[in-house]
Chain A
Amino acid sequence: MNEPAVAIPLEAQPRLPHGVRLVHNEAYDGWVLLAPERVFKADPIAAEIVKRCTGDATVGSIVDDLAKTYSAPRERILADVSALLRRLADSRLLEL
């Protein structure tokens, strides 16, 4: 995990693989990512990013959409999105 992070191409179309899904759970009052023998609590920002990983939308369009929806600087959104997607992909929780 010490290797420098590989950048996520803007044209990639990320999606959750089979066996990984984001669900809203009332018992936890929020979103959780269910994966093989692992459970991750997704904070609201992570949930908004993962929800957009449909396999159709490109990373670029996801970033544009989030920047518009939350009126936030595109560079900051791009940094957040790239970091999360890289982490999920390295854990085999996301396909790029």
Chain B
Amino acid sequence: MAQDGRGQANGTHQSRQANGKGEAVLHRPIGLLAELTHRCPLGCPYCSNPLALDPRDGELDTETWARIFSEAATLGVLQVHLSGGEPGARRDLVEITAAAHSSGLYTNLITSAVGITAVTLAKLAEAGLDHVQISIQDDEPVSADHIANYRGAFARKKALAEKVVDLKIPLTVNCVVHRANIDRIGAMVDLAIGLGARRVEIAHVQYYGWALHNRDTLMPTAEQVERGVKAVEELRRSHQGKIVIDAVLPDYYARFPKPCVGGWGRRSLNVTPSGKVLPCHAAESIPGLEFWSVKDHSLTDIWINSPAFNAFRGTAWMQEPCRSCERREIDFGGCRCQAFILTGDAAAADPVCHLSPHHADVIALAAQHRDVPYSYRTNPRIR
């Protein structure tokens, strides 16, 4: 799955900032993104999974996930996001969910809905599932199935959403928007309301992994973005109290960068299908970082001591213009992966920021559009 706007939209938990000397103050993580598998029946061209996907036979087993959840709760994690790939591809999803629940974690299933049957969903509810997020690709089936590269996906999403609501599990609909569907935000929000969602995310594609690969095909125009922002403002007004609409400006059109994952090694952590622990799901795209695995270390040890988590904690690693910027503890210099992708230096300011010397490159990239067929995401190789 990925691409769900969680990087921007979750939580208002108050915690201490880095201290005045720029030294990293250790915070407790609030959320754990558990990427249970990279396997997925859909082929969305904006998937933020890495191009090199973890194979099935390298996936962690049920017992290891149970241990991770228990260690996460001890570390202070409150919510676990069960994601992928498509988490429904795991035959032990119910056991995994039960283990997270019995560790006291709030359990959130992030699913494409394809591969989760009504029977499985009922078992998940019984196992203590707290919330479901279903992604949709568009408001109508032909376009939605084309984007997902899976015929019938749209109908299955609607059917599962109805079951979620029947079981009284709160539902979020995640609309991933890009050039092909950004003009239908209103229709997608109406669909989400019709499905009984309490919350809808308007998640602009972020350009990592497969999405970066398809950037020129997915990038909305400036006019589309402007219309999209207005549409969201109007929808928020007209639907107040009916549905919560979470949306942020798309990266390449912003003036300031997003506070990516709420600050590096500060509020969240990500476990890959094979057990590597990352500060964010795209962190492996930065060369030279040393990631530790749950196979060798406890989660607390990794959070405190792993080199990758300490690489960009606090503000001491920053260069100008971030180092002296008054927003350095608001947006933390933006996204490290994006800084690397667009400038070749992971410690540079995220060039989405208008203060970055590379900002003109971002504006040029945002103006670059090519109408070529999507290069669909593939599946991990079977070994």
A residues lining the B interface (CB < 8 Å): 1, 3, 17-21, 23, 25, 27-28, 32, 34, 36-41, 89-92
Contact = CB atoms under 8 A, between A and B. Distances in A.
B11 A36 contact: no
B156 interface: no
Contacts of A28: 28, 76
B311 to A, nearest CB: 24
Interface of B: 6, 9-14, 28, 30-31, 75-76, 78-79, 81, 104, 106, 108, 130-131, 133, 168-170, 172, 198-199, 236-237, 240-241, 243-244
17 contacts: A1-B240, A3-B240, A18-B169, A20-B170, A32-B78, A34-B78, A34-B79, A36-B130, A36-B170, A37-B81, A37-B133, A37-B199, A39-B10, A40-B12, A92-B199, A92-B241, A92-B243
Nearest to A26: B76
A84 B13 CA distance: 17
B108 A36 contact: yes
Contacts of A27: 28, 75-76
Given A1-B240, A36-B198, A19 B10 contact: no
Contact of A37 (B75, B131, B243): B131
B6 A39 contact: no
* Chain B CB within 10 Å, residue with most, of A38, A41, A90: A38
Contacts of A25: 76, 78
B10 A37 contact: yes
Given A19-B169, A41-B14, A92-B243, A36 B199 contact: yes
A39 B78 contact: yes
Contacts of A41: 12-14
A20 B172 CA distance: 13
Main SS of the interface on chain B? loop
Ordered nearest first, which 3 A-B pairs have the shortest CB separation?
A19-B170, A27-B76, A36-B131
Contacts of B240: 1, 3, 90
Nearest to B10: A37
Nearest to B241: A90
Contacts of B14: 41
Given A3-B240, A18-B170, A39-B11, A34 B106 contact: yes
Nearest to A34: B106
Contacts of B170: 17-20, 36
Nearest to A37: B10
B168 A18 contact: yes
A23 B75 CA distance: 16
A81 to B, nearest CB: 18
A39 B79 contact: yes
Contact of A91 (B104, B106, B244): B244
Given A1-B236, A37-B133, A39-B31, 20 more contacts: A1-B240, A17-B198, A18-B168, A18-B169, A19-B170, A25-B76, A28-B76, A32-B13, A32-B78, A36-B108, A36-B198, A37-B9, A37-B79, A37-B81, A37-B131, A38-B10, A39-B10, A40-B11, A89-B241, A92-B243
Contacts of B168: 18
Contacts of B172: 36-37
Contacts of B30: 39
B180 to A, nearest CB: 26
Contacts of A34: 78-79, 106, 130
A7 to B, nearest CB: 14
Given A27-B76, A92-B198, A39 B169 contact: no
Nearest to A18: B168
Nearest to B81: A37
A37 B6 contact: yes
A39 B9 contact: no
Contacts of B78: 25, 32, 34, 39
Contacts of A36: 108, 130-131, 133, 170, 172, 198-199
A21 B106 CA distance: 9
A2 to B, nearest CB: 8
Contacts of A23: 104
A3 B220 CA distance: 32
Contacts of A89: 241
